[in-house]
């Protein structure tokens, strides 16, 4: 298979965004606007970018295997785990499904949460036509709804925004965006869920910050953290 030749800047950027790599795993820091897997836009995927990168770096004459055990929404940044072997992919798929990979997100929201920490739970359903999720109201549980639960902690506040750390306990479509909005804490830039204005980069201020898991092959404990996007640096102090 032929892969495209990356420019010097593209190559350097892809290399700089690798958070962890071994023979089985490749963990990268996704940018706002990148897609993890192909969609109707036909834009280059994060997976294809790193296949091209590995083909160039390792001078591989054949195809490069990169499996995708999970995804991040296009306007979201942060950690994406890719598998470099089929063995790792099967095990990672299982781990994401059973919740054995613990995911922590940082969200900049436009209003104060009702408490400094809490747990949100309820049932969510997805409107495919709108590509949007909604909370079921009490007494109106739908057959297609799925249980969703997360925990949040207030980490910091500015004069305009509140920084929440969110631990996902389930993985549903747009779960964090939907549940925080329902709590009255719309994510900065998230027009779909009620933010007053968009972000300059077209994304939303939701970042997959940290993951913790047992390596699917080596069985060692892994904790990986992704640096915040540049667009957050004038809002959140480096010490946070």
Beta bridge partners of 82: 26
Contact 15, 212 (CB under 8 A): no
Q: What is the DSSP letter of 170?
A: S
Residue 183 burial (CB count, 10 A): 18
What's the pLDDT score for residue 140? 85
Q: What is the DSSP letter of 173?
A: T
What's the pLDDT score for residue 1? 59
Contact 102, 213 (CB under 8 A): yes
Pairing outcome for strands 25-30 and 221-225: unpaired
What ranges make up the beta strands (E) of 73-201? 77-83, 102-109, 117-127, 132-135, 146-157, 162-168
For 46, the 3-state DSSP assignment is helix
> What pTM, to 2 d.p., does this model score?
0.94
Q: Residue 149 burial (CB < 10 Å; 0-12/13-18/19+)? A: middle
Q: Tokens representing 207?
A: 């970042």
Domains (range + CATH), the chain: 8-229 (3.30.2350.10)
Enclosing H/E stretch for 21: strand 18-21
CA-based nearest residue to 190, from 182, 127, 39, 145 = 182
Query: CB under 8 Å to 26, separation ≥6 — which residues?
Result: 18, 20, 50, 54, 66, 81, 82, 83, 84
Q: How far is CA 6 from the centre of its chain?
A: 24
Cα 44-199-16 angle, rounded to 5 deg: 45
One digit per residue, the tens of pLDDT, for the chain of length 240 reads: 578 999 999 999 999 999 999 999 999 999 999 999 888 888 999 999 999 999 999 998 889 999 999 999 999 999 999 999 999 999 999 999 999 999 999 999 999 999 999 999 999 999 999 999 999 988 788 989 999 999 999 999 999 999 999 999 999 999 999 999 999 999 999 999 999 999 999 999 999 999 999 999 999 999 999 999 999 988 998 877
Pairing outcome for strands 77-83 and 25-30: antiparallel
CA-based nearest residue to 136, from 185, 73, 187, 179 = 179
């Amino acid at each position: 298979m032929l892969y495209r030749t990356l420019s010097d800047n593209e190559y350097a950027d892809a290399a700089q965004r690798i958070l962890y790599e071994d023979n089985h795993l490749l963990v990268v820091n996704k940018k706002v606007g990148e897609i993890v897997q192909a969609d109707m836009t036909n834009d280059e995927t994060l997976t294809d970018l790193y296949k091209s990168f590995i083909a160039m770096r390792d001078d591989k004459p054949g195809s490069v295997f990169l499996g995708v055990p999970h995804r991040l929404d296009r306007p979201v940044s942060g950690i994406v785990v890719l598998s470099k072997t089929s063995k790792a992919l099967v095990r990672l798929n299982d781990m994401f499904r059973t919740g054995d990979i613990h995911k922590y997100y940082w969200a900049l929201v436009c209003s104060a949460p009702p408490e400094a920490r809490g747990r949100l739970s309820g049932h969510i359903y997805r409107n495919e036509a709108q590509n949007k999720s909604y909370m079921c109201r009490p007494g109106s549980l739908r057959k297609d709804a799925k249980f969703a639960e997360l925990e949040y902690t207030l980490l910091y506040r500015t004069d305009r925004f509140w920084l929440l750390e969110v631990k996902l306990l389930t993985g549903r479509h747009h779960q964090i965006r939907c549940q925080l909005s329902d709590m009255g804490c719309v994510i900065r830039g998230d027009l779909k869920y009620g933010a007053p204005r968009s972000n300059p980069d077209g994304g939303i201020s939701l970042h997959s910050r940290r993951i913790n898991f047992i390596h699917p092959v080596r069985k060692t404990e892994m904790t990986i953290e992704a640096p915040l996007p540049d667009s957050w640096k004038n809002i959140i102090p480096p010490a946070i």
